[in-house]
Amino acid sequence: MDALTLHRIHFAFTITFHYLFPQLTMGLALLIVAMKTVALRTQDVDQRERYDVAARFWARIFAINFVLGVVTGIPMEFQFGTNWSEFSRRTGGVIGQPLAMEGVFSFFLESAFLGLLLFGERRISRRLHWFASFMVFLGSWISGFFIIVTDAWMQHPVAYQQLPNGTYEVTSFWGLLMNPWAWLQYAHNMSGAVITGAFVVAATGALYMLQQKHQEFGRVFLKVGVVAGVISCIAQIFPTGDLHGKYMARHQPAAVAGMEGLFHSTPGAPIVLMGQPDVERQTIDNPLVVNKVLSFLIYGTTAAEVKGLDQFPQDQWPSALPLLFYSYHIMAGLGTYFAALMTTAGFLLWRGKLYNARWLLWPIMLSFPLPYVANTAGWMTAELGRQPWLVYGLMRTSEGYSKHVGPGTSLFTLLGFLGMYSLLSILWIVMVYTAIQKGPRAPVVDQGHDAHTLTTA
């Protein structure tokens, strides 16, 4: 394999792995705030106690994921320099800003208040403790924002100028932060993170109900998870996914054509629900289509013409076309399934029948890995759709990598990360599974009576 391919796989693998953790922590952070709010506001002593214990339990799971997010996040920060040095040199004057802001504004905040959230409960007032959970939430969501601003600039560069030495610099700070692409992407991405959080919480609730243990918490988790799930699953499709898709069709038409597998421009374009793109013959095998829907989704009328790949020179086609097509279809397919599952569950919750509906508890419990799949597929869509550009329209991926780092070296570190991260995955699963099996009331292993450690169990 050549150096470029290896650097791409290197980056893709490490960031995909990293994003497994923040998507849960960002989603959970919101749900923990919600649980703590209920506990703070309720007059009912039992309920207050239950929600306090629930919030504490999820804060422990949060902590495990947080540490993994931190140790896998640090390599990301360095990899721009190690593996994408030419990209960093040329665009550092723009994207260096949001990346540095992430560190300065959110990581300090998060690490400080997480300690308070985990161990401060007995030293500070209930209101202050609620505030700590809120600040942890804020920190993780700010962190997500700056990262998305970075990515959005690569997808849709704004507020920049080129200097005589060929590098780029930001020309308007607010222009960079107010990139419309960033806000659309942020809304969609954060809603996706809430889906992950909601599914994990609801699945744990379903597990407890099916196992008939910790049932008082099973009910709390199901309720919180399903309510958050209904809202976020709907928001994921409409308005966030829909708007994002429309905006993309205007600014990255080649990517949309690739996602939809549209080889030829067509008025009244059909949507392909399923099929296998054949790039050489430029067709979709075994297509399952609904006529005119694509034109309607993008332009609001059934007759509009949608640009196909034939409108673009072949060297501007997304380079991994079939993978792009599948990623997009997996995301959108799962999104439809999530919305159906969660609205059904929401309906039963409203009618008071959810806790005994074993036929529904099973799929809720088994579906918890799927949001991870959907979020990963979503990022694959975004990143593969951007190809062959590293910064859309400005810089090609083939120009950006570290030319002085040979393929052997890159393969060596890639293998190292593969090995290291396989171990991490095992540890992660064991730790989270043990915590869930022990249940919310399990005593904490090493709480350090006076909060002298950041770690929990």
Partner 1 sequence: MGTIWFWIVAAMLTIYVVLDGFDLGVGIVYLFVARDEQDRRKAMHAIGPVWDGNEVWLIAGGGTLFFAFPLLYASSFSGFYLPLTIVLWLLIVRGLSIELRAHTHDSVYKTLFDATFSFSSLVLAVFFGAALANVIRGVPLGPDNYFFLPLWTDWRTGPNPGILDWYTVLGGVLAGLALALHGLLYLALKAAGVLNTRSTMLAKRLLPIVAVITLASVPATVIARPASLEHYQQHGIAWLAPAMVVVSLATIAISLARGWEWRAFLGSCTYLASMLVGAAAGLYPVVLPSVGTAGRSITIDEALAGPHAVRVGLVWWAFGILLAIGYTVTVYWLFRGKVPEHAEGYGH
Instruction: List the single partner that 144 binds among ligand HDD, partner 1, ligand HEM, none, CB under 5 to 8 Å by kind.
Output: ligand HEM
Report the partner that residue 404 touches, choosing among partner 1, ligand HEM, ligand HDD, none (CB closer than 5 to 8 A by kind). Answer: partner 1
Binding positions for ligand HDD, 145-184, rule CB under 6 A: 155
Task: Give dist(CA 183, CA 380) in Å, integer.
Answer: 19
147 binds, options ligand HDD, partner 1, ligand HEM, none, Cβ within 5 to 8 A by partner type: ligand HEM
Tokens of 279: 């790039």
Question: Residue 186 CB, nearest distance to ligand HEM (Å)?
Answer: 8
Among 39, 132, 149, 170, binds partner 1 (CB under 8 A): 170
Q: Does 57 bind ligand HEM (CB under 6 A)?
A: no
- Residue whose entry in the numeric block shows the structure tokens 């780029």: 168
390 binds, among partner 1, ligand HDD, ligand HEM, none (CB under 5 to 8 A by kind): ligand HEM
Q: How many residues does the chain have?
A: 457
- Indicate the residue among 260 and 383 with the shorter CB distance to ligand HEM: 383
Q: How many CB atoms lie within 10 A of CB 120?
A: 16
Copy the structure tokens of residue 126. Answer: 């209930």
Degrees (nearest 5) of the Cα angle 32, 112, 26?
35
SS (H, E, C) 96-126: HHHHHHHHHHHHHHHHHHHHHHHHCCCCCCH
Is 456 an interacting residue with respect to ligand HEM (CB under 6 A)? no
Residues 91-130 that bind partner 1 (CB under 8 A): 91-97, 99-105, 107-109, 111-113, 115-116, 119-120, 123
Exposure b/e, 335-345, CB count within 10 A at least 16 = b: beebbebbebb
- Contact partner, 367, from partner 1, ligand HEM, ligand HDD, none, Cβ < 5-8 Å per class: none
- Map the footprint of partner 1 across residues 390-409, applying CB under 8 A: 402-406, 409
Residue with tokens 């159906």: 340
Residue 252 touches ligand HEM, criterion: CB under 6 A: no
**What is the DSSP code string of 266-329?**
EETPPEEEEEEEETTTTEEEEEEEETTHHHHHHHSSSS-EE--GGGS-GGGS-TTHHHHHHHHH
Binding partner at 119 among partner 1, ligand HDD, ligand HEM, none, C-beta below 5 to 8 Å by kind: partner 1
Q: Least Å distance between CB 387 and ligand HEM?
A: 5
Neighbouring C-alpha atoms within 13 Å toward the C-beta of 333 = 16
Residues in contact with ligand HDD by the rule CB under 6 A: 155, 185, 188-189, 192, 195, 236-237, 241, 244-245, 248, 331-332, 334-336, 338, 371, 374-375, 378-379, 381-382, 385
